[in-house]
């Protein structure tokens, strides 16, 4: 732990949605300004550690890997532990690859799939309108600490997900927690973050290709 996904953002309390908590501060910036700065942050590379507390399992399931984001629409999550798996999102299409195979699915056609894989992409590109269309947003700031609380608007997603909390300190985005309606909980922390990256075409092809390893290029 100890890194931040986006650096250099001064934050303070803000209020976005009806019912959201607000903690005004003399030096606070609003949610719009935060998202605006995220939108200008360029490409991102970060490592993550994710811990899932699932009722099916006797012990938490921990996985690690790397995230990549190339604005405006490319996002990749490559898991390296406990096994190799990848999720790549490009526009409205998503490719998943794990030991069971490779599959390309439509994101727009499934709000559930979009919720599970697309929150970070929307956040990283500073898409406040996109965020608002999918969630009721609570934005809370207290001193150097801030929290974004997202409640799904979709009835179908609400059956599964209770809320998503994204926390930061100062200008740092530190963790994300996904709380499910059945009590299952997933916490992701980010570290070794690099921002302002400009990926080369070769890197784009290597990191964000929707094709499977055996698919024709």
Partner 1 sequence: MSDAGLRALTLGLLAALGLYCAARLELTHSITHFLPSEADPELVELSIQLVDSPLTRRMVLAVGGGPGRDAAAAELGEVLRSHSEVTWVETGFDEEAMRSVYELYFDRRIYLASDAPDTEIPRMLDAKHLQRSAGRLRSRLAQPASPAVSRMAPADPLGLFERILDRIRAAQPAISTGVGGFASSDGGHAIVLLGLRSSPFDSSRQAPFLRDLEQEFSRLAAAHGGGLVLEKSGVNQIAVASERSVRGDINFISAVSIAGVCTLFLLVFRSLRHLFIAILAPLSAFAAATAMALFTSPPLHGITLGFGFVLIGVTIDYPIHLMTHHALSPEGTRPRDTAARLRVSLLLSGVTTTLAFATLALSDFPGLREMGSFAAIGVPAGLALTTLLLPAFLGRGGTATPVQIALSAGLGRLVRWLGGHRGLAVAIPATCAVISAVGVPQLRWEDDPATLMAADPSLLAEHERVRRRVVDVDDGRFVVALAPDAESALALNDRIDSRLGDAVAEGHLGGVRSLHSFLWSQELQRENLAAFRSAPDLGGRIERAFSARGFRPDAFESFTQAVASPVAAPLRPEDLAGSPLERALDSMVRLDEGWAVVTSLREVRSGEGVRDALAGLEGAHYVDQQEIVTELYEGYRRSTLRMLGLASVVVFVVLQLRYRSLRRGLLAFLPSVLVALTTLGLFGMLGITVNVIATVSLVVVLGMGVDYGIFSVDGAQRPERLGATMSSLLVSCLTTIFVFGTLALSSHPALRAIGLTTASGILLALLLSPAVFVLASRATTR
85 backbone dihedrals φ, ψ, rounded to 5°: -155, 155
32 touches partner 1 (CB under 8 A)? no
Sole residue written with tokens 């984001």: 69
Q: Please say which residue, 118 or 172, places its beta carbon nearer to partner 1.
A: 118
- The structure tokens 């059945």 sit at 182
Beta-carbon contacts of residue 57 (< 8 Å; ≥ 6 apart)? none
The continuous run of DSSP H or E covering 129 comes out as helix 128-134
Query: Looking at beta carbons only, is 19 or 82 nearer to partner 1?
Result: 82
CA distances from 148 to 75, 139, 197 (A): 21, 5, 25
Pick from 26, 109, 213, 216: which binds partner 1 (CB under 8 A)? Answer: 109
DSSP 109: T
> Of 48, 46, 44, which Cα lies nearest the Cα of 63?
48
- Segment contacting partner 1 by CB under 8 A, of 1-9, 16-24, 74-82, 164-172: 74-82
- Give the nearest distance from C-beta 194 to partner 1 in angstroms: 22
Using the minimum distance from each CB to partner 1, give the nearer residue, 40 or 80.
80
Q: Of the candidates 19, 27, 32, 98, which one interacts with partner 1 according to CB under 8 A?
A: 98
Interface ranges with partner 1 (CB under 8 A): 50, 52, 54-59, 61, 63, 77, 79, 82-83, 85, 87, 91-93, 96, 98-100, 104-113, 116-117, 156, 160-161, 178, 180, 182, 184, 186
């Amino acid at each position: 732990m100890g890194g931040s996904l986006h650096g250099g953002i001064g934050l303070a309390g803000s209020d976005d949605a009806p019912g959201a908590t607000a903690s005004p501060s003399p030096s606070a910036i609003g949610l719009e300004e935060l998202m605006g700065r995220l939108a200008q942050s360029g490409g991102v590379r970060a490592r993550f550690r994710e811990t899932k507390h699932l009722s099916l399992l006797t012990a938490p399931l921990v996985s690690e890997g790397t995230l990549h984001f190339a604005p405006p629409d490319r996002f990749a999550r490559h898991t390296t532990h406990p096994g190799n798996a990848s999720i790549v999102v490009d526009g409205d299409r998503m490719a998943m690859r794990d030991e069971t195979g490779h599959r390309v699915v439509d994101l727009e056609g499934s709000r559930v799939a979009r919720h599970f894989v697309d929150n970070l992409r929307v956040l990283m590109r500073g898409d406040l309108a996109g965020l608002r269309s999918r969630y009721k947003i609570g934005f809370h700031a207290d001193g150097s600490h801030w929290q974004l609380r997202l409640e799904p608007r979709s009835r179908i997603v609400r059956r599964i997900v209770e809320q998503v909390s994204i926390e930061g300190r100062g200008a740092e985005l530190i963790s994300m927690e996904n709380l499910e309606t059945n009590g299952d909980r997933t916490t992701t922390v980010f570290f070794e973050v690099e921002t302002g990256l400009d990926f080369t075409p070769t890197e784009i092809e290597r990191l964000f290709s929707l094709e499977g390893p055996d698919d024709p290029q």
